[in-house]
A and B are shown apart, each in its own frame.
Chain A
Amino acid sequence: MDSGDIAWVLVSAALVLFMTPGLALFYGGMDQSRNVLNMLMMNFYCLLIVPIVWVVLGFSLAQGSNSFIGNFDYFMLKDIGITGDDAGGTIATVAFLGMFAAITPALISGAVADRMKFSAWAIFVPLWVLLVFVPVFKWVYGGWLGVRGSLDFAGGTAIHVNAGIAALAAVLILGKRKGWPSEARPPHSMPLVMIGTGILWFGWFGFNAGSALAANGQAAQAFMNTFLAAAAAGLVWVLVEWIRDGHPTNLGAASGIVAGLVAVTPAAGYVSGGAPILIGAVAGAICCYAVRIKFKAGYDDALDVVGVHFVGGLVGSLMIGLLADPEFFDGAFDKGLFYGGGATLLLEQAIANGAAIAWSLVVTSLILLALKKTMGIRVGEEVEDTGLDFALHAETAYH
């Protein structure tokens, strides 16, 4: 890797690291004041455990020529040097991808808010990274789904659809919070939500533009797409709720921005021109309605991980099938339907997401059912009433 590329990948890696604290504030502000520290801790815990898991085994299991799972060749980063032509490019990439591995399980924390035992979360995260994130990541990047021709630039399928559907499995097994949905649980601090949103957007430039793994034109276009899709989705979400509910809200703007970022993630390196605005607008409108499905369907996805990450990721991933433009990027990938490529790519996108959904749903459920049988995954009723911050962490956010 040349020095320009390495510089950009290292900067991007740091940007992606910053997203996890951003996510923690985004979720923490939406959560209850008695549970905000538990939410922050669930997120920061991912930054403690996942880098170790990734470097010891995760990265190695995501490499190799096998279509389904890697091997132990890079156990503990064995044989990855920094001299010669590589010049540290591989180590920079391992670090960059490790940041992705860390934030992916963190996404699930928003769904299980207010009621999951931290001890169960502590075991769940490393198991989930190795048994769900790594296989799906491998299938999408260099595995059977990628080889078939499906596209996922920065992790729409591998990260957002994967974590989003895992969140659904988690809340189905964990059960509803006491009093949900009749008891009002408005966000305890909207300013925290907005700070978290700003940090997420900032970090997402590293997430998407860094995924070019080079300082090149594709990175620049991915950067622009990240900029536009978030703006369009935030705008549309606010417009929809303004017309539908009567007020333009901060939470609507924040949710729309995140939905747009999620949706453009898989597409960022494959679309151009007005396409990111279209992707953002469609994701903003659909997610704005998708977050209400839980009330009809009866699953308690506390902070809308399913409605924003699963639905947004799926929308963006499928829209690649319409909008992919290989000529613009001079790239070796299929054309989307709108560019004369027929439905082939759209079908591949559907297959890839279907496979990720099936694996994530089943294996996440198995992990959580095993934890439920052995150690228990839910706090006691009294702890749920009085708050997790003090009961589990002996800390209180506000005095």
Chain B
Amino acid sequence: MRMITAVVKPHKFDDVKDALVAAGVSGMTVTEVRGFGRQGGHSETYRGTEYKLDFIPKVKVEIVVDDSSVDTLMDVIAAAAKTDKIGDGKIWVSEISDILRIRTGERGPDSI
């Protein structure tokens, strides 16, 4: 089992969600986050004074999937989140050692 974590632009989140659902993903955890990468922060100007804001709003999507579908789903997310502009985000994958469905007590891949 792997967890795919994707940090995407907020306005691309709906596209990412729809693409994942279309690809058969049955659940996800979504968090509004702030951060910066190569894009850096951005500047806003109020009363002629420029303020540098280091952290930019992003949406973090987390899904736990079978090993076999990881590559496909990474491509699905990347295709949906891409704008070809700096700040499109990142996708990373991590190992998940165990998982439990609280209602039934099922363990392992069956509870995804």
Contact = CB atoms under 8 A, between A and B. Distances in A.
Bound together: yes
Interface of A: 184-187, 241, 244-247, 249, 251-252, 255, 288-289, 291-292, 295, 304
Nearest to B41: A184
Q: Which 9 A-B pairs have the closest CB atoms?
A: A184-B51, A291-B47, A186-B51, A245-B45, A251-B46, A186-B44, A186-B46, A292-B48, A245-B48
Contacts of B45: 241, 245-247, 249
B43 to A, nearest CB: 9
A251 B47 contact: yes
A255 B52 contact: no
A304 B48 CA distance: 12
Contacts of A289: 48
A184 B51 CA distance: 5
A295 B46 CA distance: 13
21 contacts: A184-B51, A184-B52, A184-B53, A185-B51, A186-B44, A186-B46, A186-B51, A186-B53, A187-B46, A241-B45, A241-B48, A244-B48, A245-B48, A246-B45, A252-B47, A255-B47, A288-B48, A291-B48, A292-B47, A295-B49, A304-B47
Contacts, number: 33
B62 to A, nearest CB: 24
B63 to A, nearest CB: 29
Contacts of B51: 184-186
Which of the four size classes fits the interface of chain B?
10 to 19
Interface of B: 44-53
Q: Which secondary structure dominates chain B's binding surface?
A: strand
Contacts of B44: 186
B46 to A, nearest CB: 5
A304 B50 CA distance: 15
A51 B45 CA distance: 39
Nearest to B45: A245
A255 B47 CA distance: 8
Contacts of A241: 45, 48
Given A245-B50, A255-B47, 18 more contacts: A184-B51, A184-B53, A186-B46, A244-B48, A246-B45, A249-B45, A249-B46, A251-B46, A251-B47, A252-B47, A288-B47, A288-B48, A291-B47, A291-B48, A292-B47, A292-B48, A292-B49, A295-B49
A246 B52 CA distance: 16
A32 to B, nearest CB: 12
Most buried by A among B45, B46, B51, B53: B46
A245 B44 CA distance: 10
Nearest to B53: A184
Contacts of B50: 245
Contacts of B49: 292, 295
A244 B47 CA distance: 11
B34 to A, nearest CB: 13
A97 to B, nearest CB: 32
Nearest to A303: B47
